[in-house]
Amino acid sequence: MEANVQTHLKPMTSEEVTQIVKNKEPLFILDVRNQREFEDWKIEGKSIEITNIPYFDLLDGVDLALERISQDKQLLVVCAKEGSSKFVAQQIVEAGKSNVYYLQGGMKAWSDHLHQVKVYEDSKMKVYQFIRVGKGCLSYMIISGKEALVVDPARMIDAYQQVAQQEGVTITHVVDSHLHADHISGGKKLADQTGAKYYLMKSEGAVFEHEPFEEHEQIVFEQVHLQVVALKTPGHTPGSVSFFVNEKLLFSGDTIFVGGLGRPDLGGKVREWAKDLYETVYGKVANIADEVIVFPAHYADFNKEMSQGGYIGATLGEIRKNNEMMHNKQEQDFIEAMVQSANAETPPNFEEIVAINKGIQEAVDERQQELEIGPNRCAIHHTA
C-alpha cells in the first residue's frame, strides 16, 4: 500500500486491515461509533493506535479529530456500516491530511471477514484455517484426496465452497464441536447446500436432522481418520467435543485454547461442567502427546496467540507449559478457579444465538449479522 503518496480518500478492506494487524504495521484508527459500542468492541492489534470520537461530535467540523490523530501514520476512519466514516474521512482529507482511508463496509464487514491460511500439509491431508479476525472465531477445512471436512463453519459458507472449488474437492462432512453461543453456525446450511453429512452431539438439543456424535465416535474418509475426543466428558457445553485427526492434529473446539480453557458457566451449571472439563483436560487430553498441534475454535489475542507459521495454534506441549490450569491442578482447586471466573461477561445475545443454532428459532440474514456484532467471550484465560 503506497500510503506515503496517497493524498485522496480511499477505502481499506477488512483483508488489508488483517494484513496490517498480522504484520504489526503501524496504523492509526479514528473510530466514530458511539462510546458504548467502541468500548465493547473495537479493532485491536499490537501495531494499532486508536481513538474514539463519536460521529455526532464531528458534524460541525473535524478540528477535534485533527488534534488527536497521528500526523505521520496512515489513518483509518471506522464506523458501523461505512457511511459515517466516509463522511468524516473526506473532511479530514479536505483539511489537508494525507494517507486517509475509511473501512469498507464498516465494522459489519470486519465482523464477517474470514482470513484464510494454510496451516498444515502432509502426504495424506491439507488443512486450511479460516480466521474471523473481528470475532476471534476459527474454523477449518481438512482436505484429503477428493473430499473435504469442515470444522465449526461460520455462517459465511461461501468461503468454504470457494476453497473446495479451487481445490477440486467435494465437501462430504461438516462437524460442529458444540452448539455455539457467540456466533451462528453455518454447519447445517453448508451441509444442506453441499449434500454433506452434518454432525453434532444429540445432547446439544438441536431439533433438526443431523448425525449425532453419540453414534459416530470416528469419521473416516480418504486418508483421514478423525476420532471424536471427550465424548463423555464435556466442558464448555454438555456436548462439547474435540477432534483428533490422524494422531497429529487436535481440533479442540471450545475446550482448550492457546491461552486458556472453555468457560463452563453458560448453562448455569458451572461446578458440574467444571468437573467435566477437569476430567477432559486431565483425563482424555492428558494421554495425547506434546507434539500434537492444537487448533482451537476461538482465540483472544490475535498477535499473542499467532504462531510463527502465521496461524492461531500451538503444540499441546506449549499450551501445557503456558497454561497454569493444566499444571497438575487438584480437581477441587480447578473447579474453584472456574467458579471464581464465572462472573465473566456472557457473549452478547447468546440465548437467541443458541436458539437459532438449535433450529428452534429463525432469523433473516440481517438479524443474524446484528446478533453477532461484538467480541467472542467463550474462554477463561489462565496463561502462566
Cell of 80: 458501523
CA distance 70 to 102: 15
CA distance 286 to 282: 5
CA distance 215 to 228: 11
Q: Please identify which residue in the block is written with the cell numbers 451441509.
A: 191
Is 92:65 a contact under the CB 8 Å cutoff? Answer: yes
Cell of 142: 481438512
CA angle 203, 173, 123 (to 5 degrees): 125
The SS3 call for residue 229 is: strand
Is 338:270 a contact under the CB 8 Å cutoff? Answer: yes
Query: Within 13 Å, how many C-alpha atoms sit on residue 277's CB side?
Result: 34
The interaxial angle of helices 187-194 and 158-167, nearest 10 deg, is 40
Is 149:172 a contact under the CB 8 Å cutoff? Answer: yes
CB neighbourhood size of 9 (10 A) = 17
Q: Please identify which residue in the block is written with the cell numbers 479451487.
A: 166
Strands 314-315, 293-296: pairing kind: antiparallel
Distances in Å between the Cα of 263 and the Cα atoms of 136, 139, 281 are 15, 19, 13
Q: Which residues are catalytic?
A: 79
Is 281:261 a contact under the CB 8 Å cutoff? Answer: yes
Q: Which residues pair with 261 in a beta bridge?
A: 256, 380
